[in-house]
Amino acid sequence: MFPSSGGGGSSGDGGGGGCFIATSAYGSPLKEEVSVLREFRDRYLLTHLPGRFLVEVYYTLSPPLADIIARHESLKALTRGVLYPVVGASRCLLKSPAGFALLGGSLFLLVGLLLVRRKDE
């Protein structure tokens, strides 16, 4: 049901182990960014029910999007920009379980700053 490596069946996958959109955006399943996302999926998302559900939804919805992205350089660049913080957060969490606390604290701080700024406007 959830391939952790190897093909997935869509032309957008390119052998990216189910990382359809990242493989399309980065152009190869061998890119480090795709590997980081694949490892995050395997180590964190596939280990619990909500994560497996999220992956299943992704596998259902992403192949057609990946096919579109693969055909347009501008969409590849835009997708890489959107994935940049996702890859960075995944890399942080994979390097250190304490990364969860760091990431959560950073998000809390960012939301707090945005709320304070909004009050000032």
Tens of pLDDT along the chain (121 residues)? 444 444 443 333 334 478 999 999 999 999 999 999 999 999 989 999 999 999 999 999 999 999 999 999 999 999 999 999 999 988 888 887 676 666 666 767 777 777 776 666 6
Domain assignment present for residue 14? The answer is no
Asked if residue 83 belongs to a domain, the reply is yes
pTM: 0.70
- Structural domains counted in the chain: 1
Tens digit of pLDDT for each residue in 90-113? 888 888 767 666 666 676 777 777
What's the pLDDT score for residue 23? 96
pLDDT at 17: 74
* Angle at alpha carbon of residue 17, lines to 12 and 22, rounded to 5°: 50
Domain that holds residue 109: 20-120
The distance of Cα 81 from the centroid of its chain, to the nearest Å, equals 12
The rounded radius of gyration (Å) of the Cα atoms in the chain is 16
Task: Return the structure tokens found at 84.
Answer: 């940049």
For 8, the token pair is 């997935």
In a domain, 11, yes or no: no
In a domain, 6, yes or no: no
Query: Distances from the Cα of 48 to the Cαs of 24, 25, 40, 55, 100, in angstroms?
Result: 27, 27, 13, 11, 16
**Would residue 56 count as lying in a domain?**
yes
